[in-house]
Amino acid sequence: MKRTVGTVVSAVVVIALLVLGFVFGGFALTETQSETLKILLIVCGCSVAFCFVVGELAQNFSQMDKLWSILPIAYAWIVAGKGGMKPRLVVYALIVTVWGVRLTINFARKGAYRLKFWTGEEDYRWSIVRSNPIFRHKLAWTLFDLFFISLYQNLLVLGICLPSLAAMESTAPFGAWDIAATVLAVLFLALETVADEYQWRFHQTKKKLLSEGKALPKPYDLGFNTTGPWSRMRHPNYLGEQGIWLSLYLFAIGAGAASRGVFHWSAAGPLLLILLFMGSSALGESISSKKYPRYKDYIEQVRKYIPIRKFDPDRH
């Protein structure tokens, strides 16, 4: 109950910030920004069509998952190029590039990419979502694939680069806000990288032990990862991911786009992505609670993002 209330309150706060961004930040684009946005939307539209058609034909609904970390790199450099390669835009694009390359490599080692591009490992959550009674009719799932998996998620990924679009014609020098954005983005990127590496090593070791028919020693006997940052946070990788998006928004503030304080329409991208991850983390924890008997103890002891207490497997 507490977790549900907390999630609802967090969602309300995020939505309120979205509304404030549009009310106080306005929504006005220059001619160059409008032309750039059109290019981004054309690329986005092609991606939507690709993800939907290929996903339906191959019955592999992770086509967008494969592009999630690649498209923002293209978007960021398009904005940087159209904006005259200003230092702020270049730094923004470099951060997005490092983030995207790292995430692509992490996804690739899980078997997501194949020479037959329409194949590859599908995210396990899609089959679980698909088993929901609401999708018993194929049309319902097809509509979900079109509007959520293909369209909405593509728009979300485009949203990663909205702060860059907002800042593209700024004449403000690279300053304190931009330095803070860069430093925070690097720190969050480091956290996400470390967290993903611990997650990968844990599950690879567990898989190896199981394939050899060996009894699982601690901490592998729990089934889920509690090593490294996972011993103090349930979702350190999600914290890193969301932190990067919020850090990128600081570039819009540094550019003077948010003329009325910190609120601006370009915050829509990071905030909507945070809303998506609220749902994603809730789904993941629901699956883990059913799969692993001790996961509920883990939830009780360890916060999602705040490293207050370390998990004690001997405490029930």
Sorted by where each begins, the domain ranges of the chain are: 1-28+191-316, 31-168
Predicted confidence pLDDT, tens digits, the chain (316 residues): 445 545 555 556 556 665 665 555 556 789 999 999 999 999 999 999 999 999 999 999 999 999 999 999 999 999 999 999 999 999 999 999 999 999 999 999 999 999 999 999 999 899 999 999 999 999 999 999 999 999 999 999 999 999 999 999 999 999 999 999 999 999 999 999 999 999 999 999 999 999 999 899 999 999 999 999 999 999 999 999 999 999 999 999 999 865 555 778 888 889 889 989 988 999 999 999 999 999 999 999 999 999 999 999 988 6
Residues in the chain, how many?
A: 316
Half-sphere exposure of 10 (CA within 13 A, CB side): 17
**C-alpha to C-alpha distance for 220 and 18, rounded to whole angstroms:** 41
Per-residue pLDDT, 205: 97
Per-residue pLDDT, 174: 95
Per-residue pLDDT, 10: 56
- 3-state SS class at 258: coil
List the one residue out of 255, 181, 249 whose CA is nearest residue 18. 249
Per-residue pLDDT, 258: 56
Per-residue pLDDT, 267: 87
List the one residue out of 265, 278, 276 whose CA is nearest residue 304. 278
Non-local CB neighbours of 1 within 8 Å, separated by 6+ positions? none
| Predicted model pTM | 0.91
Per-residue pLDDT, 29: 85
